[in-house]
Structure 1
């Protein structure tokens, strides 16, 4: 089987998405503490606009999985190899990092609990991705990995289903939401269930399966021109701008106390904004790769390779950082403190990860697959891959 082309643009989307994750978490404290500030609207904008991050990662997961496997025979050997890789790169780090955060929370909050109570609590946390607030995402990805062979089997056997992947994704996600809304289904945590993010996953799957055709619209350059491309791109950008503006405005109105909307509007707005932004970022990444400065491309590619570790590490840094807020009413100092949280989340995570990757070969147990570039001898240039 011919080797598939690598898609370096995906690394740019992943790099941008991890920066958005840091923005969401770094500005989350401002949603309550900065309400009296004249710049509160700006904080709401930064926090709300960055919410595309998790669906974008899920979109990329669907893209990469189906791009790599859709045209391969689905055999027992392939399935074993697939789950073996994910066990080492995702499941084991999920378990160990969850335990690490649980131990941290024990020393901060749970020291009065008995051993049976702690074990029961830990079991519940592991079962729903709740050992710390951000680990639900890793738990969701594990669920998609479990579902993937079944979805791949269905899409390979019935091409018409593959062609309908996008509407199927929306139908499954919104059916799940409706059943929850009506009380037919009850789950302890809706955000920890993969069905909540089924549309971005299957949109990514569709892009992965039909990438050679869709690349004509995504890529830039004379060889990718076709009649109506500019109009189609312009229409998509316009729809995205309208959707993004409505979603951000809705949350600005809500956060500033000017009004509230029915709960389903927040759900609709979030779903539409995040899936459109994921596609928009993919389109933008092709322009950056073709026209952008090498320094920008290299930085985003490096962030991409470190993104999983950054995602796992940075909340611990923010937890300790927020124990030392400014003790003065000076507004500019509070803004500077907020910016410092973002800088610490990014810079501190990078320092921890790079040190761990250099000092021990067992860093993968906590942080997942170690990027080749950061453990290879100097001068060895890493290969850009599309591996999930």
Structure 2
């Protein structure tokens, strides 16, 4: 492993993604309501457009690994470090969320049977956010093969052709996951969407960014920031608008047809790629500006791993406190911005205090302890 020159913009990208994850998991409560009113439609829109979070985290992971493991490196040492990084928090929080449920409200779920525990570990179902670990563990395991394949294409001057092929293959995989789930059984979709081909393009795009960082920055500077932002906003309006129309047409989020899901999967990269570009540009602006806002944004990103792990517990706890103090529920407008802000602030504060402690540091970590 060679010495790493850290790309400071990555910390900002992590912070942006962590905020988007919180937005997804706060707004998703409105997607479960039967009434397709304005509050529901607005939250469906936020829920859809904030889904760039996981693709950006995957992109960052590819970039980070390609920075740390370039040239000659020890594959066994790589696997040992990845295992120390990802397995302790995944195992601990899987066990924690099996015992303490955060679906709807915080409550003790009881001791699970061995079959339930094994299924939760394999599928990341102990809580709604842990599926990401199933995906990232696969990409960690396959990284030496993936980066070797990428480098072979890159040396041949065909890296962009590889990216286009992976993009096409990823779209086919994700559309196929919906189709297969519709006809072979709904239980197949969560399995297929957790397998690495569902996000492989974003991972290799991150590797490409690490290998060609200067070229990437030059290319982004050659575009007008306004046009890049317009492309991302157009993608957001397109994807969000599709789902708002689907909810209006079918009465609920879950009532949408297979065609809606498939069209969404086809179009989503047209939104996520411009969003990645916008976030890189925003990170560069923050880094150049400096000051308190820049420092706060970087600190939030540095602690995003721990924030990701604990935020569902904070959402459920804050929702319970909010309801008891105000009598307001998920059917009220004020609930969503208050819970978003409270979850972001409390999650960051708890992780900031707990991460340096010996007993919690390995679990909650900072930017240098994980690829996410």
Smaller-chain TM-score range?
0.7 to 0.9
**Residue 37 of structure 1: CA displacement?**
5.2
Q: What is the SS of the residue equivalent to 2:7?
A: coil
**Residue 275 of structure 1: CA displacement?**
2.7
Q: Work out whether 1:197 is the aligned partner of 2:192.
A: no
- 2: CA distance, partners of 1:36 / 1:152: 46
Asked if the contact 1:63–1:204 (Cα under 8 Å) also holds between the matched residues in 2, the reply is yes
Q: Work out whether 1:126 is the aligned partner of 2:121.
A: yes
1:117-176 alpha-carbon deviations (Å, 9 max, x no partner) = 611101011011111110011221111101100112223344235343311321331342
Q: Work out whether 1:265 is the aligned partner of 2:263.
A: yes
- Superposition pairs for residues 328-339 of structure 1, below 5 Å? 334-339=332-337
Name the counterpart of 1:60.
60
**Residue 270 of structure 1: CA displacement?**
2.5
- C-alpha spacing 1:42/1:293, structure 2 compared with 1 (3 Å): farther
TM-score by length of 2: 0.83
- Superposition pairs for residues 275-314 of structure 1, below 5 Å? 275-290=273-288, 292=289, 294-314=291-311
- 2: CA distance, partners of 1:11 / 1:166: 24
Name the counterpart of 1:377.
none
Asked if the contact 1:165–1:205 (Cα under 8 Å) also holds between the matched residues in 2, the reply is no
**Residue 60 of structure 1: CA displacement?**
0.9
- 2: CA distance, partners of 1:329 / 1:255: 27
Name the counterpart of 1:375.
none
Paired residues, number = 355
Asked if the contact 2:175–2:266 (Cα under 8 Å) also holds between the matched residues in 1, the reply is no
- C-alpha spacing 1:182/1:268, structure 2 compared with 1 (3 Å): closer
TM-score by length of 1: 0.80
Given candidates 357, 360, 363, the residue that maps to 1:363 is: 360
Name the counterpart of 2:212.
210
- Superposition pairs for residues 4-19 of structure 1, below 5 Å? 4-19=4-19
Q: Work out whether 1:93 is the aligned partner of 2:89.
A: yes
**Residue 334 of structure 1: CA displacement?**
2.6
- C-alpha spacing 1:325/1:350, structure 2 compared with 1 (3 Å): closer
**Residue 354 of structure 1: CA displacement?**
3.0
Moved more, 268-277 or 35-44: 35-44
1:268-323 alpha-carbon deviations (Å, 9 max, x no partner) = 23232223212221122222322x45222111110111101000001012223444
Name the counterpart of 1:343.
341
Moved more, 264-273 or 252-261: 252-261
Asked if the contact 2:49–2:240 (Cα under 8 Å) also holds between the matched residues in 1, the reply is yes
- 1: CA distance, partners of 2:172 / 2:322: 43
Q: Work out whether 1:136 is the aligned partner of 2:131.
A: yes
- 1: CA distance, partners of 2:247 / 2:323: 23
Q: What is the SS of the residue equivalent to 2:125?
A: coil
Asked if the contact 1:101–1:132 (Cα under 8 Å) also holds between the matched residues in 2, the reply is yes
Name the counterpart of 1:153.
148
**Residue 325 of structure 1: CA displacement?**
6.3
Name the counterpart of 1:173.
170
**Residue 387 of structure 1: CA displacement?**
6.5
Given candidates 233, 236, 241, the residue that maps to 1:249 is: 241
Moved more, 42-51 or 300-309: 42-51
- 2: CA distance, partners of 1:248 / 1:104: 33
Q: What is the SS of the residue equivalent to 2:355?
A: helix
- 1: CA distance, partners of 2:247 / 2:96: 33
**Residue 264 of structure 1: CA displacement?**
1.2
- 2: CA distance, partners of 1:237 / 1:314: 29
Q: Work out whether 1:79 is the aligned partner of 2:71.
A: no
Q: What is the SS of the residue equivalent to 1:335?
A: coil
- 1: CA distance, partners of 2:175 / 2:240: 24
Unaligned segments of structure 2, at least 5 residues: none
Asked if the contact 1:289–1:297 (Cα under 8 Å) also holds between the matched residues in 2, the reply is yes
- 2: CA distance, partners of 1:244 / 1:30: 19
- 1: CA distance, partners of 2:223 / 2:117: 53
Name the counterpart of 1:224.
none
**Residue 237 of structure 1: CA displacement?**
4.0
**Residue 346 of structure 1: CA displacement?**
1.7
**Residue 203 of structure 1: CA displacement?**
1.6
- C-alpha spacing 1:110/1:11, structure 2 compared with 1 (3 Å): closer
